[in-house]
Amino acid sequence: MINASKIKIALIKWLLEKYDNNLVLGNEVAYSPLIRRADLVMIHNGFSYAFEIKSDCDNMKRLKDQLPDYLKTFDFIYIVTTKSLLKEIELSAPKNVGIILVNGSVKQKRKPILIKRLNKRSLAEFLDRKTIIKNIHPKNPSLSVFDLRDTISKELSISKIRELAIQSLTKRYSYQFSLFLYDIENSGITEDDLRTLTGCNLGNIH
């Protein structure tokens, strides 16, 4: 039985080979006003990718609740799973969600489709106070970051908020990702290395 950490390590190795380090990765990324966490997020060529890992130990009932928020927030979504859960996920996951199988090797079973209708408020969750104030100059900059995110969602276009969200994620994780690459340069990836990819929770930044 392969656990979630081993699946994640195999996935990261596969992504690094596939994209030749031309990417930024973040581990356990907070997203959505409901403060969910994506198992792994990748930024590549100006697009966001979210990876939800389902191991043999996971409860599949949670996936139904998680997917709507993923679909509001990220350009591409993948479910990464094992052979025992593959058939169930293929039948239940929306057709625009990609599927990756980890079973000794890593194989893409279904390509994701670009999500064209994202939610402004969900994307605004990636923005901190400084970024929001710089872009909308609110009358009351002392508002809570929650209220500022509501405000920018009303004032800016979806394309602009998405652009700011991609920039914020890239900035937040680029340094950790560079440290991660340095740490694993002459050794394999361990579970401890995953901590390097875990950034701060923007929901707590004011």
pLDDT of residue 200: 55
Please check the confidence at residue 1 and state whether its pLDDT lies above 80: no
**pLDDT tens digits for range 112-125:** 999 999 999 999 99
Between 126 and 187, the higher pLDDT residue: 126
What are the CA-CA distances from residue 84 to residues 4, 44, 110, 121 (Å)? Answer: 14, 30, 16, 36
Residue 204 has what pLDDT?
40
Task: Count Cα atoms within 13 angstroms, Cβ side, for 179.
Answer: 14
Give the chain's mean pLDDT.
Answer: 91
Does 20 have pLDDT greater than 60? yes
Return d(Cα 81, Cα 101) in angstroms, integer. Answer: 5
> Residue 26: what pLDDT?
96
Going by their DSSP bridges, the two strands 24-31 and 36-44 should be labelled as antiparallel
Reference 83, options 98, 103, 54, 59; nearest CA is 103
Structure tokens at 190: 């361990």
DSSP-assigned beta bridge partners for residue 38: 29
The pTM for the full model equals 0.92
Q: What is the pLDDT of residues 44-68, one digit of tens each?
A: 999 999 999 998 887 777 888 889 9
The Cα-based distances of 27 to 9, 70, 155 in angstroms read 11, 15, 30
